[in-house]
Amino acid sequence: DASDIEKGTYPHYMLKEIDEQPFVIRNIIKQYQDANGQLKLDQNIRSAVKEADRIYIVACGTSYHAGLVGKQFLEGIASVPVEVHIASEFVYNMPLLSQKPLFVFISQSGETADSRAVLVEVKRLGHKALTITNVPGSTLSREADHTLNLYAGPEIAVASTKAYTAQIAVLAILAVDTARAKGITLDFDPLQELAIVANAMEALTDQKENIERIAREYLSVTRNCFFIGRAVDFYVGMEGALKLKEISYIQAEGFAGGELKHGTIALIEDGTPVIALATQSHVNLSIRGNVKEVAARGADVCVISTEVTKEEGDRIVLPEVHEYLTPLVSVVPLQLLAYYAALHRDCDVDKPRNLAKSVTVE
């Protein structure tokens, strides 16, 4: 219950929860390692994932966005085919299933009715399910065959922050464990890489002043804002847009850089804010091309990147982390941009209008 958890010196739960992220990542490392510092996962979960010929991730909202990043991990690291579905769509519009599907429900609260409706249906069909949740003992956890816990601590602000990064960290752990179970050799230690991520998240909080200034200049009065990215940066952009919509009521859209020319670029005017993510070496050149295109049409562009280059506009530079794990750090400035935008627009950060923390009706 919110009243039991102190905000301490923080003006809002959301800012507190953003700042807690490095500690959450360190806690996840602790929870998922054995006495020798090696990655440890429930044997039954390992077998369930290893035996599946395809994983169906089902979730809503921010958890759905974490699922998109999880697909990248499970396919890229563990070579398991993955589909990611919005729960409320899946329930009425079920795709053809593979021979041995495994369902993975991602839910901070473990109580979301849309996700539960899918769980009930796939259990009725006799399939296996794993729930990834922040609330042990929640409905989705009790009704699934297996549970992975997020260990993020209670999340009070309606806009989800630390649960998203916890979900991504746990999905990375699941992907690496699956790869190992399948005999795939990896050239990195996931727990060490997550420790580097925790430090990187901390370093980003030193950039709060810069991020607040960017929020003030770009987002105090605008009606809209676009987030562009390619590959996994596209997925993180969708989450950045959702954060901004939820708490600042700015109409925001995250989309794939390459799609700009197929429609959205028509919306770019003088002063339209565009936040561009560039953390993936194989697509960075192309996204920089998109930055030039929107800047030429008058957009105010802020680039969030791992490398410093010298195109125009503002820049938020991310500390270096393993390329798979960049969503864990690139989302932090997006969370902060949404937070400061909401403050500058006098919005109720922790309790945005029309939204509930946990939606228990379909």
Q: Rule CB under 6 A: say whether 109 interacts with ligand G6P.
A: yes
Q: Rule CB under 6 A: say whether 288 interacts with ligand G6P.
A: no
**Pattern 62-91, binding to ligand G6P, x per CB under 6 A?**
xx----------------------------
Using CB under 6 A, pick the residue from 112, 178, 222, 290 that binds ligand G6P: 112
DSSP 156-203: -SSS-SHHHHHHHHHHHHHHHHHHHHTT---SS-HHHHHHHHHHHHHH
The DSSP 8-state label assigned to residue 33 in this structure reads: B
CA distance 334 to 243: 8
Using CB under 6 A, pick the residue from 115, 131, 139, 141 that binds ligand G6P: 115
Q: Which CB sits closer to ligand G6P, 147 or 160? A: 160
Q: Rule CB under 6 A: say whether 358 interacts with ligand G6P.
A: yes
CA distance 314 to 71: 31
Q: Rule CB under 6 A: say whether 290 interacts with ligand G6P.
A: no
Q: Rule CB under 6 A: say whether 61 interacts with ligand G6P.
A: yes
The two structure tokens encoding residue 18: 């953003």
Label residue 22 exposed, middle or buried (CB < 10 Å: 0-12, 13-18, 19+).
buried
To which residue do tokens 């993020």 refer?
152
Using CB under 6 A, pick the residue from 108, 131, 141, 335 that binds ligand G6P: 108
φ/ψ (deg, to 5) at 84: -120, 130
Residue at 88: amino acid letter: S
Q: Rule CB under 6 A: say whether 254 interacts with ligand G6P.
A: no
Q: Rule CB under 6 A: say whether 60 interacts with ligand G6P.
A: yes
CA distance 286 to 288: 5
Q: Which residue has its beta carbon closest to ligand G6P?
A: 61
Cα–Cα–Cα angle for 9, 210, 159, rounded to 5 degrees:
55
The two structure tokens encoding residue 354: 């029309």
Q: Which CB sits closer to ligand G6P, 112 or 330? A: 112
CB of 63 to ligand G6P, least distance (A): 4
Q: Rule CB under 6 A: say whether 2 interacts with ligand G6P.
A: no
Q: Is 211 left (phi over 0), alpha (psi -120 to 50) or beta?
A: alpha
Using CB under 6 A, pick the residue from 131, 141, 149, 160 that binds ligand G6P: 160
Cα 358 → chain centroid:
17
Contact set for ligand G6P, span 170-229 (CB under 6 A): none
Q: Is 128 a catalytic residue?
A: no
Q: Which CB sits closer to ligand G6P, 60 or 144? A: 60
Chain residues binding ligand G6P by CB under 6 A are 60-63, 107-109, 112, 115, 158, 160, 355-359
Q: Which residues are catalytic?
A: 357
